[in-house]
Amino acid sequence: MSRILAIVGRPNVGKSTLFNRLTESREAIVDEVSGVTRDRNYGKSEWNGKVFSVIDTGGYVVNSGDVFEAEINKQVHLAIDEADVILFVVDVELGITDLDDAVAAILRRSGKKVVVTVNKVDNNQRIPDAQEFYGLGLGEIFCISSMTGSGTGDMLDQVINSFAETSGSDEEHELPYLSVVGRPNVGKSSFINTLLGEERYIVTDIAGTTRDSIHTRYNKFGHDFVIIDTAGLRKKGKVHDDIEFYSVLRSVRTIESSDVCLLLVDATRGMEAQDVNVFNLIVRNKKGVVILVNKWDLIEKDGYSTRQVEAEIRERIAPFTDVPIIFISAKTKQRVHKALDIAMQVFKNRKNRIKTSKLNEVLLEAVETYPPPSVKGKYIKIKYVTQLPSPTPAFALFANLPQYIREPYKRYIENKIRENFDFTGVPIQVYFRQK
């Protein structure tokens, strides 16, 4: 299920500080000078077991009379168009301003779920001042301090409840959803046109031709699924115009609602930083992934080319390297149908369930061969393993001292799972719990 939370509001009310707190990062630059946020920031957040995307929609600030109309207005319209829930941030120190009223008017007309968040309520003496914001006509208000984190728990409870109320249209789909993602102009539309055997999508040399995410039913050669062409995901610093910002929003949503993502990489350019960013976005969303190296027909090859490029890609995407890499050409149809077969196998791997008895037989032997390192003279004993009843592969190992088990040992267990069971192309989670 896709969940997108957009943070909106006038400049310098603390949106970026709140974004950093929700995503537990420092991706958004924070400064007392208004208008610092010029690129849109995307991140993941989790509350009470619910994971959702967070978008910081800070815009430019210019010293003119039409600052709202020129910047804030566009940002708010784009955010509310794609977001499921809007977090409207206001500042208790200045009270309701004309810009706050203007944003509130747009939000009221949108019909979207809105959570009004009164920021900078750093002490109880400011709570009475916050009551003024009921005058915006957007329902209950939540007093928080994005700097200290106070009050954010109640606010997030309301956000999660609002997601639950808007999830009616996000029903589980019956058919597998495969999305074609990657940087702009890497050949995504050409790949789908080749699969469908018709010029369904416009193809040009201009990056950004595809602006929307387009769903198409594919029912050929024993396969039946929905394939989605997405707009290219590029660096945030290069996302200048508002249509492209909208396209990136749609691409993020598409990845979240997919089962398997086909990540296209340009063979003439190799695996670049933005390709790795898209790959990490897929993994963070726990989606199946297949890497397709497109335009392979344009490369001068020798007997070592394939192995060399494959090794370079696996080095870039480490530590999750159990990913199929296929060299294709959408133009000459080289290995295009093999890519589909592999993608559908990854979809099956994502649904793979391992019997508890078989898991314990394999992993307890691995633990006995290489037990967790002792910490402070305490020996860690793992007694039992089970696969969790989650939509994506996740495993719980019960131990006497799970808090002392470090990341390298978690990777060791994950590698043993992959060695013995087929989870190729699928991110898996390993948890250690108190027995």
Residue 12 annotated as lining a ligand binding site:
yes
Residue 420 annotated as lining a ligand binding site:
no
Residue 188 annotated as lining a ligand binding site:
yes
Residue 230 annotated as lining a ligand binding site:
yes
Residue 149 annotated as lining a ligand binding site:
no
Q: Are strands 394-399 and 382-387 parallel, antiparallel or unpaired?
A: antiparallel
Task: Return the structure tokens found at 3.
Answer: 């969940």
Task: Return the structure tokens found at 387.
Answer: 């696969």
Distance CA 315, CA 410 (A): 20
Residue 123 annotated as lining a ligand binding site:
no
Q: Which of 209, 214, 273 is nearest to 244 (CA)?
A: 209
Residue 120 annotated as lining a ligand binding site:
yes
Residue 184 annotated as lining a ligand binding site:
yes
Evaluate whether 205 touches 192 at the Cβ level (below 8 Å): no
Residue 229 annotated as lining a ligand binding site:
yes
Evaluate whether 264 touches 217 at the Cβ level (below 8 Å): no
Residue 286 annotated as lining a ligand binding site:
no
Residue 297 annotated as lining a ligand binding site:
yes
Residue 371 annotated as lining a ligand binding site:
no
Residue 231 annotated as lining a ligand binding site:
yes
Evaluate whether 106 touches 137 at the Cβ level (below 8 Å): no
Residue 381 annotated as lining a ligand binding site:
no
Query: Residue 270: what residue type?
Result: G
Residue 15 annotated as lining a ligand binding site:
yes
Residue 119 annotated as lining a ligand binding site:
yes
Distance CA 78, CA 126 (A): 32
User: Which residues face 228 on adjacent strands?
Assistant: 179, 215
Evaluate whether 155 touches 43 at the Cβ level (below 8 Å): no
Residue 60 annotated as lining a ligand binding site:
yes
Other CB atoms within a 10 A radius of the CB of residue 10 amount to 25
Residue 372 annotated as lining a ligand binding site:
no
Residue 57 annotated as lining a ligand binding site:
yes
Residue 219 annotated as lining a ligand binding site:
no
Evaluate whether 389 touches 379 at the Cβ level (below 8 Å): no
Residue 182 annotated as lining a ligand binding site:
yes
Residue 187 annotated as lining a ligand binding site:
yes
Q: What is the DSSP string of 137-203?
A: SSS-EEE--TTT-TTHHHHHHHHHHHHHHHGGG-PPPSS-EEEEEESTTSSHHHHHHHHHTS--S--
Other CB atoms within a 10 A radius of the CB of residue 203 amount to 18
Residue 295 annotated as lining a ligand binding site:
yes
Residues making up the annotated binding site are 9-16, 56-60, 119-122, 182-189, 229-233, 294-297
Residues making up the annotated binding site for GTP are 9-16, 56-60, 119-122, 182-189, 229-233, 294-297
